[in-house]
Chains A and B, each alone.
Chain A
Amino acid sequence: MIEFEHDLVQDDRIHRRLYTDPAIFDLEMRRIFERVWVYVGHESEIAAGGDYKTAKIGRQPVVLAREESGAINVLVNRCMHRGSIICRDEKGNSHFFRCPYHGWTYKNTGELIGVPRRQRYPDDFAIGTLDAMHVPRVETYRGLIFASFNSEIEPVIEYLAQARHVVDRILDLSLEGTIGLAPGPNRHRYPANWKFQAENGVDGYHAMFLHESFFAIQKRRADSARLAPRNEELGWTQAFDNGHALLARRLPDDEVASVRARFPEYYDALEHKVGAERFRELFEQTNLFIFPNLYLILNQVRVIQPVTFDDTIVTMTPFTLGGAPSALNELRLREHEQGFAPAGFIGPDDYAAFECVQEGLAAASVPWLVLYRGIHDEQTLPDGSRRGKPSDETPQRGMYRRYRELMNASAPA
């Protein structure tokens, strides 16, 4: 195994090889994706007993399966016999998974219960040792399901660190305190490294330039969703512990009033439930990154799935707010598609830019990408997080501090 050269990540710069070296990509899969909590799905996607859906932890295929008892198992989607996936569909309902190759059958608890023509195995064949492998740790936070191959990792609630309060703020916009992923995803692919997407969702610097056409369209349509470039005092960036990061903008009073005016009954009920002060806090344009693969960004849950060092799949699911009128949830759908679907007015421009960066980084003569925007007056807050201006590279510096720690520490089991 190669060792990670620790000086490839410095406080204010990162080396181009992080995006171009397949060996570094392999190491990321082991040292990051197999060591921390990885988001694998939402409870609303496997709501009933027998429901299942497939996901990836790094490159490893897994299947999330809900037992009748309500318990969630995350199984490695790989037959213990000769290696085939045991679940071929993205989602469905079944209490059993049967390998398509030789018909070995597993319960959704992982227990191996069927081996065709078993008499040709010797008497001491220990079927009980060939149950499907469980991902050892599975925990949820407010419906978000995380799994980890690291059996020693801290509980999810601690892993989320200060970012937990931002998750709460996003979900508390629902009168019932819940979100739903029933609208289903857009899945997007781009030919460049996964970390461009990780960095980009909390990059407040690019929008005013790269997404100029989107902001111009908003000006044409006074009634459309308001997203503003965040070069103003209402916005900020933040780097939390464990590589999580935030780009946020507090909505000014007139914008809150206009959002509220469209669904007055709903927002009145919400204000009544949470109180005026909390209600005001909930109106934030929020892009939250949970290291290493999850974004809660505006109206959507976004999941980054690295494929190779220059190939990435992103799944974006607009979420509904529990207790909200269907017209409000439909509006959220349309806002999502406008910006972020594969034919949207924002996301595809990001992917086009990532492709340009991947092309540019072929320039081996120039080693560094520089991340020192705003480094000179970054604040450290009492909770230990760091805060910068909206267009500062505070989030990216935070991510790469965590990245460096994980990549430098030699792998556990």
Chain B
Amino acid sequence: MKAALPVLERADAEALLYREAALLDAGELEEWLTLFAADATYWVPENDGDDPHAKTSVLYDDRGRMEDRVWRLLSGSAHAQIPPSRTVRFVTNVRIGERAGDVTLVHSNLLIVEARKERTRIVAGRVEHRVRPHSAGWTIAQKKIDLVDRSQALYNLTFVL
């Protein structure tokens, strides 16, 4: 008999999301990557209901591009991040959504306060994490962020959301 899949409870989801937020705020980007599956995607769509295969996204990274993004941000030559953004992020309203197969959908709200040079701005959105069980606990198969202000022209968004 097949072993039952572990069930992701809200407390597990919160632990995972808070850890992710802490790593991003600390600039621990290589460690952040370890939270994601080998086939993960990181996606910020332009519109509700967009098919990323046919529509332009703010970003639609496969695992390889996520690694490139992290490499670039740590390279010291990503000029849009010289000086780097300082961020503090608030992850709230965490809810467990649909479970399909081994994937559990986790909904949350995200508020990032970003300070860079002489400006401070707010980046906010609704986030969906698709989470799968993994030998080390849980792994993120997809992170999708619906930015609340995406209908506006966006300033550089070069730090990881």
In angstroms, Cα B156 to Cα A190, docked, is 8
Which residue, B56, B58, B78, has most C-beta atoms of chain A within 10 A? B56
- Residue total for A at the interface (Cβ-Cβ under 8 A): 41
In angstroms, Cα B78 to Cα A343, docked, is 11
B64 and A221 contacting across the interface, CB-CB below 8 Å: yes
B56 and A213 contacting across the interface, CB-CB below 8 Å: no
A313 and B153 contacting across the interface, CB-CB below 8 Å: yes
Partner of A182, one of B54, B64, B82: B54
A6 located at the interface, meaning its Cβ lies under 8 Å from any Cβ of chain B in the complex:
no
A338 and B54 contacting across the interface, CB-CB below 8 Å: no
CB-CB under 8 A for A333 and B75, given A184-B46, A342-B154, A349-B80? no
Closest beta carbon of chain A to B78's beta carbon, Å: 5
CB closest residue in chain B, given A217:
B68
A183 located at the interface, meaning its Cβ lies under 8 Å from any Cβ of chain B in the complex:
yes
Measured CB to CB, the residues of A under 8 A from B are 182-191, 210, 212-214, 216-217, 220-221, 313-315, 317-318, 326, 329-330, 333-334, 336-338, 341-345, 348-349, 351-353
Q: Enumerate 30 A-B pairs (CB-CB under 8 Å) in ascending A order.
A: A188-B156, A189-B153, A189-B155, A190-B156, A212-B77, A213-B77, A214-B72, A216-B72, A216-B75, A216-B77, A217-B68, A314-B153, A315-B153, A326-B53, A329-B54, A333-B54, A334-B60, A341-B59, A342-B156, A343-B59, A343-B69, A343-B157, A343-B158, A345-B68, A345-B69, A348-B80, A348-B157, A348-B158, A349-B80, A352-B79
Given A216-B72, A351-B80, 11 more A-B residue pairs with CB atoms under 8 Å apart are: A182-B54, A185-B56, A186-B46, A186-B56, A188-B153, A213-B77, A338-B65, A341-B57, A341-B59, A345-B69, A352-B82
Partner of A343, one of B56, B58, B82: B58
Closest beta carbon of chain A to B12's beta carbon, Å: 29
In angstroms, Cα B31 to Cα A276, docked, is 50
Q: In chain B, residues 126-161, which have Cβ atoms closer than 8 Å to a Cβ of chain A?
A: 152-158
In angstroms, Cα B158 to Cα A345, docked, is 8
B109 located at the interface, meaning its Cβ lies under 8 Å from any Cβ of chain A in the complex:
no
B156 and A186 contacting across the interface, CB-CB below 8 Å: no
A217 and B71 contacting across the interface, CB-CB below 8 Å: yes
Q: In chain B, residues 19-62, which have Cβ atoms closer than 8 Å to a Cβ of chain A?
A: 44, 46-47, 50, 53-60
Partner of B57, one of A190, A315, A337: A337
B157 and A217 contacting across the interface, CB-CB below 8 Å: no
Partner of B56, one of A210, A317, A326, A351: A317
B80 and A183 contacting across the interface, CB-CB below 8 Å: no
In angstroms, Cα B65 to Cα A337, docked, is 11
Q: A318 — which chain B residues lie within 8 A by C-beta?
A: 56
A342 and B75 contacting across the interface, CB-CB below 8 Å: no
Which residue, A221, A330, A338, A343, has most C-beta atoms of chain B within 10 A? A343
CB closest residue in chain B, given A353:
B79
Q: B157 — which chain A residues lie within 8 A by C-beta?
A: 342-343, 348
Which residue, A182, A189, A337, has most C-beta atoms of chain B within 10 A? A337
Q: A352 — which chain B residues lie within 8 A by C-beta?
A: 79-80, 82, 156
Q: A313 — which chain B residues lie within 8 A by C-beta?
A: 153
Q: A348 — which chain B residues lie within 8 A by C-beta?
A: 80, 156-158
Closest beta carbon of chain A to B14's beta carbon, Å: 26
Q: B77 — which chain A residues lie within 8 A by C-beta?
A: 212-213, 216
In angstroms, Cα B57 to Cα A351, docked, is 19
A189 and B60 contacting across the interface, CB-CB below 8 Å: no
Closest beta carbon of chain B to A317's beta carbon, Å: 7
B55 and A341 contacting across the interface, CB-CB below 8 Å: no
CB closest residue in chain A, given B47:
A184
Q: B82 — which chain A residues lie within 8 A by C-beta?
A: 352
B68 and A220 contacting across the interface, CB-CB below 8 Å: yes
In angstroms, Cα B55 to Cα A344, docked, is 16
A337 and B156 contacting across the interface, CB-CB below 8 Å: no
In angstroms, Cα B58 to Cα A353, docked, is 20
Q: A345 — which chain B residues lie within 8 A by C-beta?
A: 68-69, 72, 78
In angstroms, Cα B57 to Cα A317, docked, is 10
Q: A185 — which chain B residues lie within 8 A by C-beta?
A: 46, 56
CB-CB under 8 A for A213 and B54, given A186-B46, A221-B64, A313-B153? no
In angstroms, Cα B53 to Cα A329, docked, is 9
- Produce 1/0 per residue, B93-132, CB < 8 A to A: 0000000000000000000000000000000000000000
Q: A334 — which chain B residues lie within 8 A by C-beta?
A: 60
Which residue, B47, B65, B79, B158, has most C-beta atoms of chain A within 10 A? B79
Closest beta carbon of chain A to B75's beta carbon, Å: 5
